[in-house]
Amino acid sequence: MIVLPVILAIAILLVLYLRWVRPWQLRWGATDREVSRPMPGDEIVVKPSFNATRAVTIHAPASHIYPWIRQIGMNRAGWYSYDLLDNLGRPSTRRILLEHQKTFVGQTIPISPDGKQGLFVKDFHDDEWILWWDQKGTTSWAWGIFPDGENRSRLVTRVRIRYQWFSPEFIFNLLIEFCDIIMMRKSMLGIKERAERLA
């Protein structure tokens, strides 16, 4: 009977994921202090199903990092990640786009080609942090830049999601659960490379 081995294999993979892969991917690059430190928007999503804090060291000051985050989005600068998957194959920009440097509360950070779907700017403090959310209280995404010595910074991002178990959105939640680390790691390293080149 082929069903039993398949079920067993799935169960083993799930245990391996929950025991080793998930804990690693939920805190890629982050120190214990960064994981435990409060960030803007933590209060938005109560009891998140997905709570990921990732971090990377960038050899540049915040003023060279923040502009790259400010202009993120489809049909804007891109996501500095795998462009075929998250930017319709268009290369993410390698320069600061002045037309996308204005930030305001309520601004859409587009993830769809028509620019209508995405997250929204909840609040921000220039050259320090920016907070996006879904306006429903089920998703928050914070970016923070923390000084770490002379001309060096820690870029920390925190994504908090409460899964919608009985909604069509759950399919998207599954993509976040298993694929977010792939895109986020590439995006953060893309920002690092661009900011260090600018510096």
Beta strands 139-147; 50-58: pairing state: unpaired
What is the C-alpha separation between 139 and 45, in angstroms, rounded? 6
Cβ–Cβ under 8 Å, residues 155 and 188:
yes
pLDDT digit string (tens) for 149-161? Answer: 999 999 999 999 9
List the chain residues with pLDDT less than 50.
none
The per-residue pLDDT for 1 is 63
pLDDT digit string (tens) for 63-98? Answer: 999 999 999 999 899 999 999 888 888 999 999 999
Q: Which residue has the tokens 């510096």?
A: 199
- Which CATH number is correct for 27-198, 3.30.530.20, 3.40.920.10, 3.40.190.10, 3.40.1350.10? 3.30.530.20
